[in-house]
Structure 1
Amino acid sequence: MNAPLVIAGAGIGGLTAAVALTRAGHRVLVLERASALSEVGAGLQLSPNACKCLDQIGVLEAVLKTASAPEAIRIRSARSGKALARIPLGSEASARYGAPYLLSHRADLQKALYDKARSFPSVEIRFGHSFIGSYVDEAGNLGLTFQAEDGRNLTLQAKVLVGADGVWSRVRETLNGHATARFSGRTAYRATLRADQVDPGILRDTGLWLGKDAHLVHYPIRQQSAFNIVALVAEDWNEQDWSAPADRSTLLRRFAQWAPDARQLLETPDSWLKWALCGVPATGHWAQGKTVLIGDAAHAMLPFAAQGAAMAIEDALVLASVLTPETADIANALRTFERQRRERVRKVQKTAEENGRIYHMSGPLALGRDTVLRMSSPESLSARMDWIYGWTPPS
């Protein structure tokens, strides 16, 4: 039997790639270092460009059963609490882009993708296997080594290796000319509440609060039965690992001067987790020989455009469109994938970085930003996202 296409990582990007590549006719083996699927992270935003991809691979229907659909993004001033702008979503976004804007728990999306992948007999998923290294033999065959949880090594041949193993990708280390992940100088604090713990009035929308060196995002998930809160702060990182439990009192002091409504929301969770926000420049090499990177492994970005998951999902469908079972020159096909994706991803990455600067303004710059937002029409604010949300995957 021909060697399988191997995917390192069973996150959002890896599982989307497994489904898309299997639908394209490949036999796929997914190897994930974690021992099982777990609820790592919390909520994520699935904009219409991502939902169009999920619909094309037959996963959107399952996602809709657990997701929430916000009516709008409401932007407020952290200092005064006053409304600055409203960007319509809901039925208006669906009509504008041909797909919904959804809010999902990461674990719900991951499970929907996992269940879909498992429905194909040509997909195998193994947990507890960490990528160790790769080699090319004299005949040009790609060989891979993974280590199982019991310490034994698994060596196999692969048609292609897809590195979907996240921001700290081990597969990326095997490619020449790719930068390592770097800390952005910002931290994300995350908490999840029951819906009955918050004002029902904020369960319909995504909320975005803009403040000095910090901003706050919140939205409902799991069909408005739960509520996700993310506080993003410019600060140093002094923990031993890149995620850790957060000190609640320290976080609340950081937001002590914010408007009462924001402070009340931040005071509601009993505990918080925090993550160092790290990025990977999209300018590095994504493809080399028969190895290719997708998602955060290739271009981890700041969450200030809510496009990290969407870009990984898009990557998977574009990869499947250029890599067919009949592809003779695999290395060229993988370079084609990189060329087709790099400029869009680089632009989204740059937009996220710029949003972070704008969100965290203070003084006269913040006053100018707030004035522009108040004077902007909902239509003009929506139009700014057309180039991202209007993207359609190759058929």
Structure 2
Amino acid sequence: MDLPVVIAGAGIGGLSAALALGARGHDVLVVERAGELAEVGAGLQLSPNACRVLKELGVLDRLMPHAVAPRAIRIASGRTGREIASIELGDRIATRHGAPYLVVHRADLQRTLFDHALDQGRIEIRLGSEIIEISDTPDGIVQCHVQTGDILAQISAKALIGADGVWSSIRNRVPGHREADYTGLTAYRATLPAERVDDDLLTRTGLWLGPNAHLVHYPICAGREFNLVALVPERWTEEGWSATADRTALLDHFGNWAAGVKTLLEKPDTWLKWALCGVDANGPWSDGKIALLGDAAHAMLPFAAQGAAMAIEDAAVLAHHFPPTATNVRTVLKAYEADRRKRVKKVQETAVENGRIYHLSGPMAVGRNTVMKLMPPDRLSARQDWIYGWTPPL
């Protein structure tokens, strides 16, 4: 009997990898610590590079009823409230790149991936389970000791993929990989019923730029809800890495912003906040028959809206390099790592640079706004082609 590939984590990356490897012909076991899929997080932006993979995995059509395809990204000044530039999306971006640009609730994407995986005969998912020990046999088989309640099972695997997020436990088994670091930035998130915001906000993604802060918003859940994300630099003093937010403290960051923006920020009664932590993509991603994927390998700032997309891309590339007949799994995983590192690192660096640009103040902000206003819309859109135009390997 062929040994399975074991995947730690049933998040976006882990489930995408399960589907990609299953389609390639592998048996797959996904081990997830949570006892049920919870609505953790909020909105996600899925650019054409991610949607192209989801389409190949047979997931995109299933996801569309839960998604929104915004017609544009409206970039505006947080201080004045005036529009700086607009990047057309909708049919134009879908035609340009052969796949749509979507915004969704993270839970809707995860549930769609999960349900599709359950429909595949080669994929098993164990919720409420945890890999508590990993060992190697003399003949090179990975032994995963999986705890599910009071039951301890020993699973022999051809490979172990750590897709268990920014605080990955599997990453501890990859020598030389640094732990996640707090970036000094916090994301405040809230959702509202769509009827509580102006209709115009439900057709576009909004990006508001200001000194030491920026705001992103867009519709989710097929347009029934409205997602807001406010990003600011601040010290993190909470015990964990997410917490209920002090609404007053958030609003203080935006005290000098335009009245319309402040009114929007005042609408949610409850905000949650997350410390933004990163994992350097330059660290090793694999060791022997163990490899990392998604945030476990390269958690990044959200300022390029590519965190989920990079994990989905990882899944496609891993499956491409991993035929079921592969006899040297170490070589397969090293090839996957080498194939992905340069692109992911560039996206990481782009996200950091975007954050710096978004938060400019004074004359530098005026210069930024002027350049963006004068840039032809097609040229502004083309700056994303290297990201959005990526296609999965054949």
* Cα distance in 1 for residues equivalent to 2:52 and 2:178: 31
1:33 aligns with 2:33: yes
* Cα distance in 1 for residues equivalent to 2:169 and 2:117: 23
* Cα distance in 1 for residues equivalent to 2:213 and 2:27: 46
Note the 1:36-55 alignment, pairs <5 A.
36-55=36-55
Note the 1:70-89 alignment, pairs <5 A.
70-89=70-89
Q: How many residues are matched?
A: 394
1:194 aligns with 2:193: yes
Please name the residue that 1:101 is paired with.
101
Aligned residue type for 2:23: R
2:135 is paired with a residue of what secondary structure?
strand
TM-score using structure 1 length: 0.98
- Deviation for aligned residue 1:144: 1.3
Residue deviations 1:155-176 (CA, integer Å, cap 9, x gap): 2211110100000000001001
1:34 is paired with a residue of what secondary structure?
coil
* Cα distance in 2 for residues equivalent to 1:153 and 1:349: 38
Query: Is residue 77–residue 83 contact of structure 1 (8 Å, CA) maintained in 2?
Result: yes
Superposition CA RMSD, Å: 0.9
Residue deviations 1:34-67 (CA, integer Å, cap 9, x gap): 1111110011000000000000110000111110
1:69 is paired with a residue of what secondary structure?
coil
Gaps of at least 5 residues in structure 2 are none
Please name the residue that 1:138 is paired with.
138
* Cα distance in 2 for residues equivalent to 1:62 and 1:70: 18
Please name the residue that 1:118 is paired with.
118
Which consecutive aligned stretches of 4+ in structure 1 deviate over 4 angstroms post-superposition? none
Please name the residue that 1:286 is paired with.
285
Note the 1:1-395 alignment, pairs <5 A.
1-150=1-150, 152-395=151-394
Residue deviations 1:73-103 (CA, integer Å, cap 9, x gap): 0000011111100000001101110100000
- Deviation for aligned residue 1:339: 0.6
User: Which piece of structure 1 moves more, 279-288 or 127-136?
Assistant: 127-136
- Deviation for aligned residue 1:31: 0.3
1:227 is paired with a residue of what secondary structure?
strand
Query: Is residue 18–residue 30 contact of structure 1 (8 Å, CA) maintained in 2?
Result: yes
Query: Is residue 133–residue 174 contact of structure 1 (8 Å, CA) maintained in 2?
Result: no
- Deviation for aligned residue 1:133: 2.7
- Deviation for aligned residue 1:137: 1.6
Gaps of at least 5 residues in structure 1 are none
Aligned residue type for 2:312: I
Aligned residue type for 2:188: Y
Residue deviations 1:195-233 (CA, integer Å, cap 9, x gap): 100011111000000011110000011221110000000
User: Which piece of structure 1 moves more, 366-375 or 42-51?
Assistant: 366-375
* Cα distance in 2 for residues equivalent to 1:106 and 1:355: 23
2:223 is paired with a residue of what secondary structure?
coil
* Cα distance in 2 for residues equivalent to 1:99 and 1:261: 33
Residue deviations 1:245-271 (CA, integer Å, cap 9, x gap): 001111112211110111011000010
* Cα distance in 2 for residues equivalent to 1:107 and 1:25: 27
* Cα distance in 2 for residues equivalent to 1:394 and 1:55: 14
2:66 is paired with a residue of what secondary structure?
coil
Query: Is residue 132–residue 170 contact of structure 1 (8 Å, CA) maintained in 2?
Result: no
- Deviation for aligned residue 1:153: 3.1
Residue deviations 1:127-173 (CA, integer Å, cap 9, x gap): 111222311122221111233344x4332211110100000000001
Q: Percent identity?
A: 57
Aligned residue type for 1:38: A
* Cα distance in 1 for residues equivalent to 2:140 and 2:222: 50
* Cα distance in 2 for residues equivalent to 1:393 and 1:261: 42
